[in-house]
Amino acid sequence: MSASGRIALKSPLDPELLRALRPAGVPAGILALTGVLTWAAPMPDSLEGLQIAGPYAVLVIATAMAWGFNRGRAFVIAATLLAAFAVNQFWAGTRVHHLLVVMVPLNVLAAMLWPERGARYRASYGWLALLAAEALLLAWAHKSAGGANFIWSPMPLFGRVAFAVAFAATVWRAWPEFTALQVGNAAALAAFFIASIWVQTPAVHSAFMSAAGVILIIALLAESHRLAFRDTLTGLPGRRALEERLRSLGGRFVIAMVDVDHFKKFNDTHGHDIGDQVLKLVAARLAEVGGGGIAFRYGGEEFSVLFPGATLEEALPHLDAIRASIEGYRMAVRAPDRPKSGEEGSKLRGGGEKSGNPEQHLSVTVSIGASRPKKDARAPAQVIKAADEALYRAKQGGRNRVST
């Protein structure tokens, strides 16, 4: 309750949840725009050919991009949607359509359950064989129906259940990273669901099939950008992202170079898995730096923190605070014979049994060197070099300190 006597309501929107759902903004916008355009601005008769050519074009491009970028799940979804659109053009009918609204989500479900191994590998030919087998089944269904093209009940109950299960699988697979491609896979399935409901209205059906292809194309481009500019181990922006950011800076900024102390000893003593955990720990702490600082993975055990528009005096307290935060954290190392389940461990402790190798706690420290543009060193590369020299002085001075 506030001083005025009013009850202060906390916003139900969690910032972390909003950040995770941010990649959903573009697909949701595409779906909403498609719905508005199909309702408010129907396609003129002169452009009627785009109802067929448009979905083919974007879905072929999406399939080719998924193959070229070696994204297995996106390839399965794009190829399945392309085949489904083609089948609806040539073999329209109730029996065929009902098979499609089950086959498409089941293909997506299988792709979500199958490990991501890329599109260009030997097992991927199994997906092509599956699509071919499904095409034969659909051809038989069309022939046995006598070529009837009337569709009743565009989305039967079993189709809705299949879509619900497949969509839940796409969300499960996306959790908790929610990358643009993972969200795009789910949104493309949603677009096909809407298109299937409106299959008896060719303009709407084609519009949402096109939307599915556009969503996948944009998601694949975003995924390519993410892989190029973000470090996969730590989740921080990578060195290329730092170089891009430095090009847009003015003459007032601070760069800090951060190095994990005795990192080689961590690897040699505890193995590379623990070394990776150390890097993730340091990255997670650096990501919380205040003062407008932005953390980057520079390479190896070295990180960078950029303070755009800040002075050295403004940046130093935040750098020392993050150094102290890392120093104060104790990282637990699981003993080789420690039970993996909590229940099993509780039984051992209750029975008085002790592990031969007790859990260890490691202390991690970092050394930091910071610099700013000077009269004789204004270029970003020169400032980074000066920060590296300051880092060397921090190492020489005993480590676990900030030097300028």
What 8-state DSSP symbol labels residue 395? H
Q: Is 162:110 a contact under the CB 8 Å cutoff?
A: no
Residue type, 114: W
Helix, strand, or coil (residue 101): helix
Cβ atoms 362, 275 nearer than 8 A: no
Active site residue 301: yes
Positive or negative torsion for Cα 387, 392, 393, 395: positive
Query: Following DSSP, what letter does each residue of 292-314 receive, concatenated?
Result: T-EEEEEETTEEEEEEET--HHH
- Of 298, 282, 288, 281, which Cα lies nearest the Cα of 318? 288
Per the CB < 8 A criterion, the answer to whether 261 and 274 are in contact is no
Cβ atoms of 169 and 108 within 8 Å: the answer is yes
Asked whether 124 and 82 are in contact (CB, 8 A), the reply is no
DSSP state of 374: B
Rounded Cα distance between 67 and 354, Å, is 52
Both tokens assigned to 352: 């008085």
Element (H, E) at 56: helix 50-68
Beta bridge partners of 331: 362
Nearest C-alpha neighbor of 293 from the set 304, 307, 311, 313: 307
Of 301, 353, 359, 389, the active-site residue reads 301
Q: How buried is 389 (Cβ within 10 angstroms: 0-12 exposed, 13-18 middle, 19+ buried)?
A: middle
Q: Catalytic site residues? A: 301
